[in-house]
Each structure stands twice: as structure tokens, then as C-alpha cells.
Structure 1
């Protein structure tokens, strides 16, 4: 009987210790900071959204707007580039062709690789035309 009681008590102590030592769920959210980026404006067109910083990539999510569908040079896409702390480019990616805004607004979300320990130190977000020409870019540092 004492053996079973000791085993049961030991099990309760181990379970309590495990639960008390477990990190809170909100601690995981803090590991992946989110940086809003202000509208990047070119004439009446823009992109705005957020950058979520992960350990080996970033996710850029937002909306971009085009006021004309007169041709690819009037359409808008969002593109981003990741860099390490030394300023070396790690990767690039952008909104998909289906997310291209031509005379409208479109939502987008895409992942940009940053395959180094700790992830990207800086992201450069760009408003592009439909031909993928960078029109205006802004840098954002990891918080």
C-alpha cells in the first residue's frame, strides 16, 4: 500500500512540476514579433500591411491598390527582400500573380526566406508595378 501511495504522490509531483515549468502560450507569440508597415505610396497607389518575423523567414501580409487597369505598368504588386545583420541579401518573394491589383485593391500574404540562425535582421518591402519593377521600397528592422 505504501509503495502505491508513494508512486501516486511521485506522479502528482512530476505532473505539477511539468505544468508549472511549461511556458505560457503567450510566450510563444512574443517569439514572433509583428511589425506594421505604413503605406508605401506611389501616386494614388499603395501597399500597407504587417511583417511577421520568424526564425528562418518572414511573412508579409497586407493590401495593395492600383487605380488603373490600363496595362501592367499601372498594376501593383508587393515584393519583399530579407537581409542579415551584415546587409547581405538572404531571399526575396512577392505577392502571387493572382494577387496583382489592376484597377482595384487586393489582399496578399507571402513568405520570404531568411535561412540563417535568428532569421532576417531587415526586410525591405517594395511597391512594384505589374512587370515586377520596384517603384518604391522601405526598410524595416527586426524589433
Structure 2
């Protein structure tokens, strides 16, 4: 009898301890959606990850410039209106890390981002569209 009672009390104590130590439902925050990007033109490329926040998209990546290149990012809303943009500035003959915040200050934020690998005069060589996941 004592063995069963001790087992039942021990089980109840473990259950209460587990419940008290567990985080409340919904207490953990959901991760922001991300999507990889890659725009390559000849030996030059821009690669990285877009992270979609409520009113900002962050581009975190690497520009590999053969000659002089820059990268332009444009964030667009649901109606196709441009919400904001950002650029790396011109970089020559090397590999350059970057982290750029692209404003998307509208309800719902950006629906898609255009990524362009540009020449030294900021003229697009190649662009790609990336939709919010």
C-alpha cells in the first residue's frame, strides 16, 4: 500500500513540477520568415538571406564583385507600390559581406523584394524577384 501511495505522490509531484517549469502556451515567439536569394551575372554574384519583418526586410549576404558592382534591393507592397529600397554601394574586385535593412513601412509590410546586381554605373545587369514566404 505504501509503495503505491508513494508512487502516486511521486508521480503527482513530477507532473506539477513539469507544468510549473513549462513555458506558458504561446509564450515563445515565432521565427520571422526567411528566404535565400542568389543573383549571378558572369563571375559576379550576390547571395544571402532575406528576413521578412513586419515593416522591414533585412538582406544579409555576400557580394562577389568581378570588376565594379553594386546590389540594389527594392521592397514592394501588395499593390506593386515601392515601399523602400537599399543598396550596398559600388564595390570592386573582391568579396564583401553586407547587412541592409530595406524599409517596408506599410500595413502587412513587403510582399516581395527585387534584388538587382548592378554595374559600376548602377545600371541593372540582372534582377530577380523574391516573394515573401
For 1:1-143, list aligned pairs within 5 A.
Answer: 19-24=23-28, 27-29=29-31, 32-38=32-38, 40-68=39-67, 75-95=68-88, 97=89, 100-143=90-133
Name the counterpart of 2:4. Answer: none
Greater gyration radius: 2
TM-score of the superposed pair, with normalisation by structure 1: 0.72
- Distance (whole Å) between structure 1 residues aligned to residue 48 and residue 25 of structure 2: 36
Cα root mean square deviation, aligned = 1.8
The equivalent residue for 1:10 is none
* Ranges in structure 2 where 5+ consecutive residues have no aligned partner: 1-19
Counterparts of 1:109 and 1:128, CA distance in 2? 17
Aligned-residue offset at 1:87: 1.1
Match of 1:13 in 2: none
Runs of 5+ in structure 1 lacking a partner?
1-15, 69-74
Higher percent of residues as strand? 2
1:103 is paired with a residue whose SS is strand
- SS of the equivalent of 2:30 reads helix
Q: CA deviation at 1:90?
A: 1.0
Give the Cα–Cα distance (whole angstroms) in 2 for the partners of residues 83 and 54 of structure 1.
13
Cα deviation for residue 43 of structure 1 reads 1.5
- Specify which structure has the higher proportion of helix: 1
Measure, in 2, the Cα distance between the counterparts of 1:88 and 1:22: 34
